[in-house]
Amino acid sequence: MTRIKKPKEVKRELHPWKALIVALAFLFWAIFELQTQGETLWYWFMLVVGGIIILPNVFWIWSKLGTPFGPPYFFSMLKTKHFVNFIDNLGKKAKTLEKISIGGLFLGFGLAGIDYWTAREKGGIKRIIILIIGAIGLGLIFWYLLGILFSVPALAPLFWISLIAFVLLGFGGLTIAILLGYGALAVVAFFSAEQICPSIAPVIPGVPIPGMGITIPLIAWVSLGLIMIIHELSHGVMLAKYKEKLKSVGIILIGIVPMGAFVEQKDESFMKKPERKQILVLSAGPSSNLLTIPIALGLFALLMFSVGPIQEAFADDAALMYDGVQVSQVQDEISFCGITKEAPAKGQLFEGDKIILLNGVDINSIGSLNKVFTDTSDYNFVVLRNGTQVDVNIEPVFFEGLNLKRIGVGFTPIETGYVPPVEMIWTSMIVNALANILFYLAFLSFAVGMFNFMPSDPLDGGRIAKFVLLPYIGFMGFNREDGQKFIGRLFAWLFLISLLLNVLPYLTMLF
C-alpha cells in the first residue's frame, strides 16, 4: 500500500496516442464479448484493462496531471506539496502515534516483534516470561478475533498453521501462511480436477470480483481514500517527528484505481536514522490502519443505535411505500468461482410471483425474506401467481467451500407509488451512505493493515523484517548487509510463489 520513497519516474519518450489505440481496442473487444457471450471473465478483464487502467493513464499523461513510472500507461503517480506544513506541525505532537506504532509492531510481527523491542534486551528468564505472556496474548487475539476467518470451510484446514504463524510473526506471518496454505490447496484441487475459489482477487469498488459475482459498492472509494490518507499521514507524521523534511506527498494509480501512496523526502537521511526510529516510521501506517478498525466499527454501532428512533418515526411512511416482495429474475444457471449448476428455482418460480410466505413466515419486506434465507436450509414458498396461491418447494445449491446457498432468483420490493416526505428520503440516503463508508472502512483497513505487515518488499513489513528477523539468521554467518538481503529475497520468493499458486483457480475458471 505504501512506499516511503517516491517511485522512479519513466524517463523515455512516450506516445499517448498509441496507448489510446490499445485502450480502445480492449474496449471494443469487451463490447464484442458482452454482445456475444455476456458478462464473462474475459469481458471484465478487457473492460478493466482498457477502460479502468490504460485509458485513464493516457489522460493523466496527456494532461500532465500525472507522471508515469514502471510500465507506462499502467502506473501513474500524482503528487503535491500541499499538506507538507500540516504534517510537520502534527509531527510535534506524535507521542501517541509512536505508542500505536509499537503496539502495531507487536501485532504485525508477533513474538519476533516483541522479542526485538522488549524481550531480547532483558535476557534470561525475563525474556522467556515476556515471550510466554506475549504468546498467550497473541493466541487469545487469534482465537477470539481472527478465528472467525476460518469458519469458512475453504480456510478451515489452515487454522492451526495460521495460529502458529500469527503467534510467531503476527499479521505478516498470518498473511504468508494463508497465501502459501491456500496455494497448496489450490495445487491439490488443480490436479484432482476440483474447482475452488481464488483467495486473491482485485477489489475494485463498482467492479464485480472475477468469478464471484460480488460487487463492492462505489461508495467504498470514500473508505479507500480515507484509508490511504490515514496510512500515509501516519508515515509522514512520524517522519516529521524525527525531523525528516518532506518534499511532497502523492498517490500511486493503476488507471483510476489507487494502489498505494508515498511521502517524498528532500534527501536520503531517513536511511541513516537509528533502526528503531525507522521501524516506528514504517510501522505507523499499517498500525494506524489496524487501529481504524475498532474506531470504524464503534462509529458504525453508534450510528445504528442513533437512527433507531428515526426509523421508528418513519415506520408508517416506510410501510406505505411497499406492498410485499416479488420475483424479479429467475436464472437458468448459477455460477460461482467457475462452478456452474442449474438454478433450482428454474421452472419453479417465475417473474412477477408475489412472495406470501417463506417457511411459514409472512414476507412483507426484503429484510424479512433475507432473515429466513439465513436461518434455514430448504425453502417452502407460498406465492401469489395470477391470483392463485401456489406452494413451491426448492432445495438450494450449496457451495461447500464457502457455506454459500443459492437458488438463482432475484427479488425486489413491490412499490405502491407512495412518495414519502423529503426529509425521510434524505435521511435514509445519508444514513445508508455513512453506514457503508464505516463498514468498508473497517473491512478494507483490516485488509490493508494486514497486507502491509507482510515481510516482503516493497511493503512496510518487508523493511521491518530486515531489522526484526536479522538476529535469527546469525548462525548462517552473514554480515549485516548480506543478512538483510537474504531476508528480503526469502520472503520475496515466498510471496511470488504464493501468488503463482493462487492463480491456479483463475486458470481453471478460464479454461
β-bridge mates for residue 325, sequence order: 355, 413
The pLDDT tens digits of the residues spanning 271-286 come to 888 899 999 999 999 9
Q: What kind and span of H or E run contains 209?
A: strand 208-209
**What percentage of the chain carries pLDDT values higher than 90?**
30
Task: Determine contact, residues 117/134, Cβ cutoff 8 Å.
Answer: no
Q: Rounded CA gap, 284 and 77, in Å?
A: 22
pLDDT at residue 41 in the model: 66
pLDDT at residue 194 tops 90: no
| pLDDT at residue 438 in the model | 95
Q: Which residue has the cell 496527456?
A: 62
Nearest to 77 by CA among 158, 7, 153, 125: 7
Delimit the domains of the chain by residue range: 322-420
Residue 351 has pLDDT above 70, yes or no: yes
The arithmetic mean of pLDDT across residues 446-473, rounded, is 92
The pLDDT of residue 20 is 76
The predicted model gives 464-482 an average pLDDT of 90
Which residues, including other chains, have CB under 8 Å from residue 298's CB and lie 6 or more apart? none
Report the relative pairing of strands 2-3 and 257-265 from DSSP bridges: parallel
Rounded mean pLDDT, 110-130: 92
* Cβ neighbours of 152 (radius 10 Å): 13
From residue 147, alpha-carbon distances to 78, 110, 143, 181, 296 in Å are 39, 16, 5, 16, 20
Residue 245's pLDDT is: 81
Q: What architecture is domain 322-420? A: Roll (2.30)
Question: If pLDDT is split at 50, 70 and 90, which confidence band does 138 have?
Answer: very high
Average pLDDT for residues 341-365, to the nearest whole number? 87
Q: What is the pLDDT of residue 71?
A: 60
pLDDT of residue 141 exceeding 90: yes
Residue 511 reports pLDDT greater than 70 = no
pLDDT at 4: 46
Angle in degrees, 0-180, between the axes of helices 460-468 and 159-191, rounded to the nearest 10: 120
Dig out the grid coordinates for 24 from the structure: 480502445
DSSP state of 51: I
Give the alpha-carbon dihedral of 384, 387, 390, 392, to 10 degrees.
-40
The reported pLDDT for the residue numbered 108 is 96
pLDDT digits (tens, 9 = 90+) for 51-105: 777 777 777 777 666 676 656 566 777 777 777 888 888 888 888 999 999 999 9
What are the pLDDT digits (tens) for 283-334?
999 999 999 999 999 999 999 888 777 777 676 676 778 888 999 988 888 8
- Residue among 83, 1, 5 nearest 263 (CA): 5
Return the residue matching grid coordinates 510466554. 132
Average pLDDT, the chain: 82
Q: Is 160 helix (H, G, I), strand (E, B) or coil?
A: helix
Instruction: Check residue 15 and give its pLDDT.
Output: 64
Closest CA to 282 of 231, 321, 318, 328: 231
- CA distances (Å), 121 to each of 102, 127, 457, in order? 16, 8, 27
Q: State the Cα–Cα distance between residues 327 and 342, nearest whole angstrom.
A: 18
Which helix (H) or strand (E) is 325 found in, with range? strand 322-330
pLDDT digits (tens, 9 = 90+) for 368-395: 888 887 766 788 899 999 888 989 898 8
Mean per-residue pLDDT, 99-113? 96
- Section 159-186 average pLDDT: 93
Say whether 210 sits in a helix, a strand or coil: coil
What's the pLDDT score for residue 277? 92
- Which stretch, 306-310, 402-406, 504-508, has highest mean pLDDT? 306-310
**Contact assessment for residue 72 and residue 61, using Cβ atoms and an 8 Å cutoff:** yes
What does each C-alpha distance from 46 to 18, 194, 208, 211, 431 come to in angstroms? 17, 27, 13, 15, 35
Mean pLDDT of 349-369: 86
3 — pLDDT class (breaks 50, 70, 90): very low
